[in-house]
Amino acid sequence: MTVRDIKAAIDSLSAAERGDLDRLLRSIDGVASAKQIKLPDQAARRRRILGSKVLPNMVLQERESEPA
């Protein structure tokens, strides 16, 4: 479905149906923002595992060693 198809389908709804759709979409948006997932702190995990070591960027090293 394209955006035009979706817009045409919404435009074909009655005012009451559009209101119901609007309330449904707003309630889903509110639920999604209320259930945000707390992501782990990757920097803290890296420091805990590696300490103060800095690992080399192998991709950049490989690119530098390639002949131009």
Which spans in 12-54 are helix H?
15-34, 42-50
Hey, what are 54's tokens? 């800095």
Residue ranges of domains in the chain: 1-68
pLDDT digits (tens, 9 = 90+) for 43-67: 999 899 989 888 889 999 999 988 7
**Contact criterion met (CB below 8 Å) for 18 and 10:** yes
Which pTM was predicted? 0.40
Per-residue model confidence (pLDDT) at position 32: 57
